Amino acid sequence: MIRSGGFFYHLRAWRFKNSLWKAHLSETAKFLESWNPKSRSILLIGPSGGYSIPKGWLARFETIVAYEPDPLARWIFEWRHGVKPRWIRKKFPFRSLDPLKRVPDSIGAVLFCNILGQIMISSPGRMAKSLKKGLEGREWASYHDALSGSRIEFDLEEARPARASIHEMKGWIYVADRNRKLIEVNYHTAPEVFQDWKGLKFAYWQWRIVPGYTHLIEGVYQKNS
């Protein structure tokens, strides 16, 4: 499993942004446009260098707060987007019973930036309960890893804008090398966090993160009704 963050992640972003990552960046942009929050204030959780956040999309927000512990990522984010968020220089407190309790009520939108699939979620149900408390009344979205593996791709022709089960996700796996008798696929528990939530919109796309290694990304959002 290839994780985000660190020097080599930034190196990959620079190397592959116009090749392997191009489709992922395009699909993420479409997802964010579909979410289209009305709020002009946003909390970004784990944005790294902001590689998958379009500059024009981010420009709509007047107030930007961001959790990002990586100092290099913060510098790259400011350089790429030309804006300086109010940085919270530590990891987001996912294990807290109310992880968003310190976020001002004035922050109307929350975006989890490909972070939920990168952390260990021992109890998705507990995580869901804690996030629901803090996200209530806010517009929010998350895009995160669902599956990943070496020398596989995902055929998403039949993917729908509704939550896919793990069985459906596995059915999208495409193996070009038919001589392979065994494939290893990593399952990221992030999709389980949202399995019982109501009124959510979903999207799925793949991210060829390095040559020969692909992630299935799940995007999910809810607008403030």
> What CATH number should be reported for the domain holding residue 150?
3.40.50.150
Asked if the structure places residue 63 within a domain, the reply is yes
Asked if the structure places residue 193 within a domain, the reply is yes
Residue 5 has pLDDT above 70, yes or no: no
Nearest to 177 by CA among 152, 203, 141, 205: 152
Q: Give whole-number Cα distances, 202 to 37, 50, 146, 176, 215, in Å.
A: 15, 22, 12, 27, 16
Residue 160 has pLDDT above 90, yes or no: no
Q: How far apart are CA 63 and CA 86, in angstroms?
A: 8
Asked if the structure places residue 1 within a domain, the reply is no
Number of structural domains found in the chain: 1
Asked if the structure places residue 2 within a domain, the reply is no
Asked if the structure places residue 217 within a domain, the reply is yes
Segment (H or E) for 154: strand 153-154
| Amino acid in the structure at residue 33 | E
Asked if the structure places residue 127 within a domain, the reply is yes
Helices 7-16 and 71-81, packing angle to 10 deg = 30
Binning pLDDT at 50, 70 and 90, where does residue 158 land? confident
Q: Across residues 42-70, what is the average pLDDT?
A: 97
Q: Which domain holds residue 138?
A: 7-222
Residue with the bigger pLDDT between 7 and 4: it is 7
Q: Across residues 6-13, what is the average pLDDT?
A: 85
At 103-137, the pLDDT tens digits run 989 999 999 999 999 998 999 999 999 999 899 99
Whole-structure pTM value = 0.94
Binning pLDDT at 50, 70 and 90, where does residue 7 land? confident
pLDDT for position 4: 63
Number of neighbours of residue 61 by Cβ within 10 angstroms? 19
Asked if the structure places residue 200 within a domain, the reply is yes
At 181-225, the pLDDT tens digits run 678 899 999 999 999 899 999 999 999 999 999 999 999 999 765
Q: How far apart are CA 5 and CA 47, in angstroms?
A: 10
Mean pLDDT of the chain: 92
